[in-house]
Chains A and B, each alone.
Chain A
Amino acid sequence: MRDAVADLVRDGDTVAIEGFTHLICFAAGHEIIRQRRRDLTLCRLTPDVIYDQMIGAGVARKLVFSWLGNPGVGSLHAVRRRIERADPEPLEVEEYSHFGMVCRYLAGASRLPFMPLRSYDHSDLPKANPRIVPMASPYGDETVYAVPPLNPEVAVVHCQRADAQGDAQIWGLLGCQKEAAFAADRVIVVCEELVDEATIRRDPNRTVIPGLIVDAVVVEPKACHPSYAQGYYDRDNRFYRDWDAVAREPSTLQAWLDEWVFGLDTHADYVEKLGEERWDRLEPGEAWSDPVNYGRYV
């Protein structure tokens, strides 16, 4: 992880660490904080606690997003502090709706100049964000709204398993990780498990990202805590709830960062520090699918 971030994430980059509640690569976020990157533009539909941590740590100058909360808990306090009080400094924001963000990645991934959607009529969002533009359909009377492409410099995608080339397989919520990866210039794939290419080839429907677009593969088990990996570990809802108190004050947030990010060298240290008892409680039960026969055609 250290090498991937050192090589591929630079000051001033537009960075997307996606995953909609699922497969959010906190380990990459922590490494970016540890390496003290600056002036990043962070992109996610929901910033989630990962960007609250990164923005609280001072890596970002701008946020591109569609929903700014701690799901089910409340606010993202570090982000709010910067927006409401410029504390410790202002945060530039570019705001969309969820579908708007998804369409931005789609336009970016397809290398198109925009993507149309029906949202935004009679909403104040286009006034707040002039990059959301009404346009007439070229084929009739309808007005739709265009959003511009989003092409991050770097996308970090977490998956359950990948091979050494970066062919990544995901099950559970897909979010828009695929779109973000195809839209990005550089892609870091982080996996729970490294598998051989033959394993990937036995179940090609499950492959979401091809090694073709991947620049680095990092093997980092439990990289998503407190987010989760379907079938591997549960979402740590208690952590999300506890985060509310941690982030409320800059001093407690900094203390947390000092203890859990700056004070540790690697994510493996973080995993160990959380302790066996905590990980035991995050152990999911089993729910296996039935294997399918792809057929052997010679």
Chain B
Amino acid sequence: MPPAAVTEYTSTEMMIVASARQLAGERVCFVGVGLPNIACNLAKRTISPELELVYEAGVFGAEPARLPLSIGDPTLVTGSLLVTGMFDLFAFYLQAGLIDVGFLGASQIDRFGNINTTVIGDYSAPRVRLPGSGGACEIAINAKKVFVIMPQSSRSFVERVDFVTSPGHVREGRPPTWRGSGPTAVVTNLGVYRFGRDGEMEVASLHPGVTTEDLRESTGWEMRIPMDIEQNEPPTDEELRLIRQDLDPEGAYTK
């Protein structure tokens, strides 16, 4: 029997949908700027309606009526559970260990989940000045789990990041004062990756149509590919409708 017709979707939409699905069963999520914003809002409307959205701007339990372009949009405040100053948010919620998942973007990542959002090239004379840490450097060590969403290429999945903005899995052992366990999942336009016990990234599942050859071409190191990798389900019509009509009709995130 021929497979059911699937609505056409872009690789960015697949990446957003796959990221949202990672939030199944999670409770308190710290939402990073950019792609994490749409992924978390999609999750709340689908698989994780109980998700409490926390924004570093100072909001706990946001219920945004529209998709925020920034992480300080007025829609985050209206109808939220709690609005507080940024010291409280970073100290009592994040640093004190109340956040289940921190959702980050990244410009570069290495095999241990070290993330660069600071510079390409030398810090003192950068070829490209990236935005910097924002809250990422503290999210990376304090959130119980860290999810990353980012486009994948051999320029973003690199052997060695130009600058470690936010640490991933530390080879010599995780400092005991770090409450979180570090990067747990990385979602790209090609697939979903997790980390082995030694802290090294490996493939968990690939998106439909993506081959291991695509993967190798887009990874700057010899990516570990276990025997039993799964294939991700494509976006459902409802997930696409939510993205295209409800959340991001102007395509600010998906273009």
Q: Are B138 and A118 in contact (CB under 8 A)?
A: yes
Across the two chains, which residue of chain A brings its CB closest to B252? Answer: A72
Docked pose: A166 CA to B35 CA in angstroms = 40
Residues 104-135 of A, flagged 1 when their CB comes within 8 A of B and 0 if not, give 00100000000001111111110110000000
Q: For the complex, count residues of B whose C-beta is within 8 A of A.
A: 54
Which of B165-179 touch A at CB < 8 Å?
165-167, 170, 175, 177-178
Q: Is the CB of A173 within 8 A of B77?
A: yes
- Given A173-B57, A175-B86, CB of A97 within 8 Å of CB of B137: yes
Interface centre among B56, B131, B163 (most CB of A within 10 A): B131
A175-B58, A230-B77 known; A102-B90 Cβ under 8 A: yes
Q: How far is the CB of A73 from chain B (nearest CB, A)?
A: 8
Alpha-carbon gap, A73 to B68, bound state (A) = 12
Main secondary structure of the interface of B (DSSP, over half): loop
A102-B71 CB under 8 A given contacts A120-B137, A121-B175: no
Any A CB within 8 A of the CB of B181: no
Per the bound structure, the CA–CA distance linking A124 and B163 in Å amounts to: 6
Give complex CA distance A179, B84 in Å.
13
State the CA gap A86–B74 with chains docked (Å).
35
Contact B72 A98 (CB under 8 A): no
Query: Is there an interface contact between B131 and A102, defined as CB atoms closer than 8 Å?
Result: no
Given contacts A21-B70, A235-B73, contact A67 B85 (CB under 8 A): no
Q: Does B83 contact A (CB under 8 A)?
A: yes
- Taking each of A96, A122, A237, which has the highest tally of chain B beta carbons within 10 Å of its own beta carbon? A122
**Given A22-B57, A66-B132, A175-B85, are A98 and B74 also a contact pair (CB < 8 Å)?**
no
The stretch of B3-11, B43-51, B120-128, B199-207 in contact with A is: B120-128
Establish whether residues A99 and B95, one from each chain, have CB atoms under 8 Å apart when the complex forms: yes
B129 and A118 form a contact (CB under 8 A): no
The answer to the question of A256 belonging to the interface, with a C-beta cut-off of 8 Å to chain B, is no
Chain B 200-233 interface 0/1 with A at a Cβ cutoff of 8 Å (1 = within): 0000000000000000000000000000000000
Q: How far is the CB of A80 from chain B (nearest CB, A)?
A: 5
B131: which of A69, A172, A173 is its contact (CB, 8 Å)?
A69
- Bound Cα distance from A128 to B130, whole angstroms: 14
A240 vs B83: C-alpha distance when bound (angstroms): 24
A192 at the interface (CB under 8 A from B): no
- Shortest C-beta distance, A124 to chain B (Å), equals 5
Is the pair A98, B56 in contact by a Cβ cutoff of 8 Å? yes
Interface contact A102-B86, CB-CB below 8 Å: yes
Q: Is the CB of B170 within 8 A of A122?
A: yes
State the A residues within 8 Å of B (CB).
Answer: 20-22, 45-46, 65-69, 71-73, 75, 79-80, 83-84, 95-99, 102-103, 106, 117-125, 127-128, 142-143, 171-176, 178-179, 228, 230, 234-235, 237, 240-241, 284, 287
Q: Residues on B close to A: CB < 8 A?
A: 33-34, 37, 56-59, 68-74, 76-79, 83-87, 90-91, 94-95, 118, 123, 126-138, 141-142, 163-167, 170, 175, 177-178, 252
A-B contact pairs, 6 of them (CB 8 A): A95-B118, A99-B91, A106-B87, A121-B175, A125-B165, A173-B72
